[in-house]
Amino acid sequence: MLKYCTRCVMPDTKPDLLLDAEGICNACRNYEQRKAIDWDTRKRELEALLDRYRSRDGSQWDCIVPVSGGKDSTFQVVRMLQLGLNPLCVTATTCDLSELGRKNIQNIKSLGVDYMEFSPNPVVRRKLNRIGLTQVGDISWPEHAGIFTIPVRAAVQFGVPLLMWGENSQNEYGGPAAAARDNVLNRRWLEEFGGLLGLRVSDLVGLDGIAEKDLIPYTYPSDEELKRVGVTGLFLGYYLPWDGYANALIAQANGFTTYDTTVEGSIVNYENLDNHQTGIHDYFKFLKFGFGRATDIACLHIRRGRITRKDGLDLVKRHDGKFPRTYLGKPLEEILAPLDMTTDEFTRVCDRFTNKKIFVRDAAGNLVRDKEGNLSKINDDNQART
Ligand SMILES: [Zn+2]
């Protein structure tokens, strides 16, 4: 049975999330501690750091900013420009880029930056999507690997030592204390917290005809290469107060376009707009752990006092974990077609990764679905409301 944080609406099934004696989760505690942070000091630390890395004679970019084109990366680029930096923006193209995602990438370029887009081999990527989904229950495995490896490879390639990442997901979303406090993203952080689910690049060689040479974009540079350039990856969210919603407002004021309605499975219209596979990714999180994107977003807003916990519960109940029939308007069949997977096969894969202890089953032990294909959690109401 799921136990929920008494302050936000996160269940304790979330990996690395801990509830303390008062039933409050570590993400809520991290947020509480942010109030004690002296942001002026942090900002000065940031300015000193940037001064250290800034190209003295203008012959080189000052830093690399890994960007997706989303609200957070738009915000990052706006801030870097305000701080007087000349960044090289690097995008790893998403696995199934939406029109809106493309539009927002164009918008980032128009802010006035040098920009590079790296698109890994789509034939290999489709195989990796399928392997990720069927072996570790995550269609987005290649995307999660690539967004962390490709900008670091670019840093080595172009000899730009500083990488400015966005937020440390371990802080806002809950994670081990040391990881949440840390301001550095390195190989160890990626391996532990980058969401690779124990599937290593070396495990993939030989599967479905994949050779080592197909995996270059997903391979982190060697320690020697990193040392030669002096690559340092920092989280901007450590130095500036980070709020996805505020970032969305600033991004919109700088040309970022939102979706015309709330995104399927979410409760907002301003994030995860660039990849049609994201709905499947979020749904598998729900099947494994009993929470989806609506829960993540509700928690962020509850912590900041923008909605009550009661309202959050209501929104989550109505929007979280719905069977991903469409995402950003694209039907599931079309999203699965490049993976050579039918919706029937997809449903069977779903079943394999569903935590049967948290969803309602019939007398024969089979998962119960409503006519839309949705599951329901056992005793959810009682648990969440106490
Ligand atoms: Zn909490």
pLDDT tens for each residue of the chain, 386 residues long: 789 999 999 999 998 889 999 999 999 998 998 889 999 999 999 999 999 999 999 999 999 999 999 999 999 999 999 999 999 999 999 999 999 999 999 999 999 999 999 999 999 999 999 999 999 999 999 998 999 899 999 999 999 999 999 987 666 555 555 555 566 667 776 766 666 667 888 889 999 999 999 999 999 899 899 989 999 988 999 899 899 999 999 999 999 999 999 999 999 999 999 999 999 999 999 999 999 999 999 999 999 999 999 999 999 999 999 999 999 999 999 999 999 999 999 999 999 999 999 999 999 999 999 999 999 998 765 445 54
CA of 10 to the centre of ligand 1 (A): 6
Q: What whole-number distance in Å separates Cα of residue 102 and Cα of residue 115?
A: 13
- Residue 84 DSSP class: T
Specify the pTM: 0.92
Q: Which two tokens stand for residue 281?
A: 């990714």
CA of 12 to the centre of ligand 1 (A): 9
CA of 149 to the centre of ligand 1 (A): 31
Q: Which two tokens stand for residue 12?
A: 């304790």
Q: What whole-number distance in Å separates Cα of residue 16 and Cα of residue 169?
A: 12
- Contact of 66 with 90, CB cutoff 8 Å: yes
CA of 37 to the centre of ligand 1 (A): 19
CA of 291 to the centre of ligand 1 (A): 13
Q: Which two tokens stand for residue 26?
A: 């570590």
CA of 9 to the centre of ligand 1 (A): 6
